[in-house]
Amino acid sequence: MKNKFFIKTFGCQMNISDSERIETVLLSAKFKKVNSENLADFVIVNSCSVRQAAENRAISTLKNAKKNKQVAIVTGCSAVKEKLRFKNFADFVLDIKDLQKWPDIILNKNTLQQDLGSLNYLKFQPKYQTKFHAYVPIMTGCNNFCSYCVVPYSRGREVSRSVKEIIKEVKSLIKQGYKAITLLGQNVNSYSGKFNNQKIDFPALLKIINDIDGDFWIWFVTSHPKDMSLKLIKTIKNCKRVCHYIHLPAQAGNDVILKKMNRKYTHAKYLKLVKSIKKYLPDACLSTDIIVGFPGETKKQFLDTCKLFKEVKYDMAFLAKYSPRPGTISFKMKDDILQDEKKRRENFLNDILRKTALKNNKKYLGKTCEILVEKKDIGRTRTFKLVKFNSDKDLIGKIVNVKITKAMAWILQGEIKN
């Protein structure tokens, strides 16, 4: 019987989280998970359409599956956005919102006629990737329409999950011994729910989750700078489980480019926000996303991004070369920055980043930090810094104290303290 499946996930944590739910639904329909693409009867590609490169990789995985006479299934952002085009590469193009019906669809059972309607797919208990850190979506979609971005088209408008459902999932994770949860949303700061007849915004949700009994850390991504409030910063300060790591995508440092990107903040406003974060959370680590070579970005405009890097002193940055995406507003603008120049700008930012990250990391020297152990010899601080250590014991999933002895730009080294 054909029942073996393999999921290949591209893109962001939201896709990883969706794949965890796909696994649950297929396993409960008696499918079997295999750990290699070659062994599978059904190859499921959870695609990302944020950049052309990720989409190309998804397509080649599908083509490969077809060539090997496997059933090629595609879901995720690319599939939703361009269903017709993806039908050329896959046997099934499925929407995650219909997850409940997938087993019947891919086994060609004709139960679709008595369509039950879609259950909110987030209700499925995910098959989490680890036993100590779980992703918990609090909202999906986005209303911001940054001019370069496909997400509002592929994931649709913002929908917040109910407070009750989120609390239920977090409580169950804590009961199972999870040590960290990451609250997920394209823009967590526009969370809007209700609880006991009261409107719950993101800071209120954080406080509710923080007050759940147990010993766990809370991370969250992603914050849009235009929506990050002083109230949120103060809430983070007052909630002991909420970790001081803030991912705050700037995308660019020049006001003209920011305007063309439809980001709705200026360099000065972003910097003011960073100053507030550093004032209330002096130990906070900051990371960002940057797009280099947006249409028309001059060298001078790019230097404003370099300036921002020197001012903020990021700990980490995810740098991307602008990639024109069909259907977005900026797709109509001329992609006029050459690939080599984009690469040069990326390298330039990376050089600044390496210096600020190293300088920030040196502040950890001699300090003792709690780390959540992720692999045999690597863990993460509450501020999301990787720490390497030596130990004969299996400490995976445990929170241990480590004294930092060496600082490099991308990783710290430390000794376990008893």
Report the nearest approach of ligand SF4 to the CB of residue 152 (Å): 5
224 interface partner picked from ligand 5AD, ligand SF4, none, CB below 5 to 8 A per type: ligand SF4
Query: How many Å apart are CA 142 and CA 154, to the nearest integer?
Result: 9
Burial 375-411 (b: 16+ CB within 10 A, else e): eeeebbbbbbbbbebeeeeebbbebbebebeebebee
At 306, give phi and psi (nearest 5°): -60, -40
Report the nearest approach of ligand 5AD to the CB of residue 50 (Å): 5
Verify binding: residue 341, ligand 5AD, rule CB under 6 A.
no
Report the nearest approach of ligand 5AD to the CB of residue 290 (Å): 6
Residue type, 139: M
293 interface partner picked from ligand 5AD, ligand SF4, none, CB below 5 to 8 A per type: none
Verify binding: residue 382, ligand 5AD, rule CB under 6 A.
no
| Residue pointed to by tokens 């609090």 | 138
Query: How many Å apart are CA 259 and CA 26, to the nearest integer?
Result: 44
Verify binding: residue 224, ligand SF4, rule CB under 6 A.
yes
Verify binding: residue 149, ligand SF4, rule CB under 6 A.
yes
Verify binding: residue 235, ligand SF4, rule CB under 6 A.
no
- Provide the pairing of β-strand 399-407 with 92-93: unpaired
40 interface partner picked from ligand 5AD, ligand SF4, none, CB below 5 to 8 A per type: none
Please choose, from the candidates 397, 384, 340, 314, the residue with its C-alpha nearest in 3D space to the C-alpha of residue 129.
397
Verify binding: residue 218, ligand SF4, rule CB under 6 A.
no
Which of 65, 261, 320, 369 binds ligand 5AD (CB under 6 A)? It is: 320
Verify binding: residue 152, ligand 5AD, rule CB under 6 A.
no
Please choose, from the candidates 143, 233, 245, 242, the residue with its C-alpha nearest in 3D space to the C-alpha of residue 187.
143
Residue type, 219: W
In the bound state with ligand SF4, the residue whose beta carbon lies nearer, of 64 and 144, is 144
Report the nearest approach of ligand 5AD to the CB of residue 76 (Å): 14
Verify binding: residue 58, ligand SF4, rule CB under 6 A.
no
- Crossing angle, helix 299-312 and helix 339-362, to 10 degrees? 10
Stretch of 84-92, 132-140, 237-245, 321-329 lying at the interface with ligand 5AD (CB under 6 A): 321-329
Query: How many Å apart are CA 87 and CA 81, to the nearest integer?
Result: 12
- With a CB cutoff of 8 Å and minimum separation 6, the contacts of 112 are 101, 104, 105
Please, what is the Cα angle at 231 between 229 and 233, to 5 degrees?
75
Which of 39, 85, 145, 398 binds ligand SF4 (CB under 6 A)? It is: 145
Query: What is the widest separation between alpha-carbon atoms in the chain?
Result: 66
145 interface partner picked from ligand 5AD, ligand SF4, none, CB below 5 to 8 A per type: ligand SF4
Question: Using CB under 6 A, which residues numbered 154 to 183 contact ligand SF4?
Answer: none
User: What residues form DSSP beta bridges with 73?
Assistant: 44, 92
Verify binding: residue 94, ligand SF4, rule CB under 6 A.
no
Verify binding: residue 335, ligand 5AD, rule CB under 6 A.
no
Stretch of 20-28, 98-106, 302-310, 316-324 lying at the interface with ligand 5AD (CB under 6 A): 316-324
Strands (E), 222-284: 245-247
Verify binding: residue 170, ligand 5AD, rule CB under 6 A.
no
Verify binding: residue 323, ligand 5AD, rule CB under 6 A.
yes
In the bound state with ligand SF4, the residue whose beta carbon lies nearer, of 349 and 387, is 349
Query: How many Å apart are CA 51 and CA 148, to the nearest integer?
Result: 10
Report the nearest approach of ligand SF4 to the CB of residue 283 (Å): 27
- Interaction mask 216-255, ligand 5AD, x per CB under 6 A: ---------------------------------x-x----
Verify binding: residue 51, ligand 5AD, rule CB under 6 A.
yes
99 interface partner picked from ligand 5AD, ligand SF4, none, CB below 5 to 8 A per type: none
Q: Token digits for 78?
A: 């690319």
Pair 86, 93: CB distance under 8 Å: yes
- With a CB cutoff of 8 Å and minimum separation 6, the contacts of 37 are 6, 8, 43, 61, 64, 65
Residues lying near ligand 5AD in the complex (CB under 6 A): 50-51, 148-149, 249, 251, 289, 291, 320, 322-323, 325
Residues lying near ligand SF4 in the complex (CB under 6 A): 142, 144-146, 149, 151-152, 186-187, 224
